[in-house]
Amino acid sequence: MGEIQIITANTAAALAAKLCRVQVVSAYPITPQTPVTEELAEMVESGALKAEYLTVESEHSALASVVAASQVGARVFTATSANGLLYMHEMLHWAAGSRAPIVMACVNRGVGAPWTILNDQQDTVSQRDTGWIQLYCRNSQEVLDSVIQAYRIAEQVQIPIMVCYDGFILSHTSTPVDVPSQEEVDRFLPPLEDRSGIDGQTAMNINPLILSDPRPNANGVVMPGYMEFRYRLQQDILGSLDTIKAADKEFLDIFGRNWDGSTWTYRMEDAEHAMVSMGSLASECTLAADSLREEGLKVGVVGVRVYRPFPASEIVESLSGMKTVTFFEKDVSYGYQGALAMDARAAMYDCSSRPAISSYVVGLGGRDVRPDQLAKATLECTKGATKFCWLDVRS
């Protein structure tokens, strides 16, 4: 059996990596991620975690080193935030293209310039097209559980995973977390099967130069060209939604809790209006929905846990038939609007009963977002007052 500990989300991520018996850790410190790797470094130094801790000179090198370690069969972990994640950008593509089952904790922080150390989700949302699975967590318990689930998922589909959670709001806030026993985690997560190298049973590759068209190898076997590699990655990312749901279901069987697969809902059974968000902000939306219910407005919440692959069918199922849907997100796709709202609009394009959709950019750079603000904005949208707006921008 596990035990309840009062810990931060950063400690939860570090403990989860330890429980998963990672063999190689490499990271470069950056606020608010630093405590994750500090704790793992202490575990390695004390002997509590039998792993190699690689000290490197940059985030780019940190990810490069775990890609290499993964390719030779090690279970690996890294973590970063904000501009550190952006510094990894080339290696994010390299990791996904290599089909390396890396798990990375991304502690969401606004990116410079200008500098901020506080939270929004611009860093990870801006990397949504690099070929990684992205999970967004609403609390510290979900951070711990999602890191454990991420290894199970990544090693089955051979695609790297970012476990994303809000800087300071979660990373440095202590809350009760049920930390499972090593025996429970071992039941859920078997030892890593060595899939290093190239053979017919693995998608992993060691990055040879690939020509445009499929060509026979020295044995006469036709091997994929570059486009076929991209196609396989796309198809396997789309197919990973089933793996994510299956892992979450088995997690429930062993640990007695789960996180609803790719999306979760709150008071949507009779809802006529919906609020949609990701991470801890989605939890704030539940408080706003409760207050609007007290005023007689039937409002529910859809929380997006898996942003990549995008859970289009779940979004359509939850939101079709609503009168209005209001998105709240801590990111902006410059030149258009919020990325989550854009993706959901595309998913719902063919629906016969599309709701009126509004989108708010909120909380950038750590700007406080209160439930009463979310409730007021949602109420305005039910009256048709807005389509796209920045919440609480002061002239």
- What's the CA gap between 395 and 382, in Å, rounded? 25
- What's the CA gap between 78 and 7, in Å, rounded? 20
- What's the CA gap between 361 and 332, in Å, rounded? 7
Other CB atoms within a 10 A radius of the CB of residue 207 amount to 10
Helix (H) or strand (E) holding 273: strand 273-278
Structure tokens at 119: 């939270």
Q: Spell out where the chain has E strands.
A: 3-7, 24-27, 52-55, 76-80, 103-108, 133-136, 161-166, 175-179, 215-216, 222-223, 263-266, 273-278, 299-304, 306-308, 324-329, 356-361, 388-390
Give the largest Cα separation in the chain, rounded. 72
- What's the CA gap between 128 and 106, in Å, rounded? 13
Strands 388-390 and 356-361: parallel
3-188 in CATH: which number? 3.40.50.970
CA 175, chain centre distance (Å): 21
pLDDT at 199 (0 to 100): 52
CATH architecture of 265-390: 3-Layer(aba) Sandwich (3.40)
pLDDT per position as a tens digit, 261-280: 999 999 999 999 999 999 99
Per-residue pLDDT of the chain (395 residues; tens, 9 = 90+): 789 999 999 999 999 999 999 999 999 999 999 999 999 999 999 999 999 999 999 999 999 999 999 999 999 999 999 999 999 999 999 999 999 999 999 999 999 999 999 999 999 999 999 999 999 999 999 999 999 999 999 999 999 999 999 999 999 999 999 999 999 999 999 999 876 554 555 666 666 778 889 888 888 988 889 999 999 999 999 999 999 999 999 999 999 999 999 999 999 999 999 999 999 999 999 999 999 999 999 999 999 999 999 999 999 999 999 999 999 999 999 999 999 999 999 999 998 888 999 999 999 999 999 999 999 999 999 998 789 999 999 86
pLDDT at 353 (0 to 100): 85
List where CATH 3.40.50.970 sits in the chain.
Answer: 3-188
Q: Cis (ω within 30 of 0) for the bond into 114?
A: yes
- What's the CA gap between 374 and 121, in Å, rounded? 17
List where CATH 3.40.50.920 sits in the chain.
Answer: 265-390
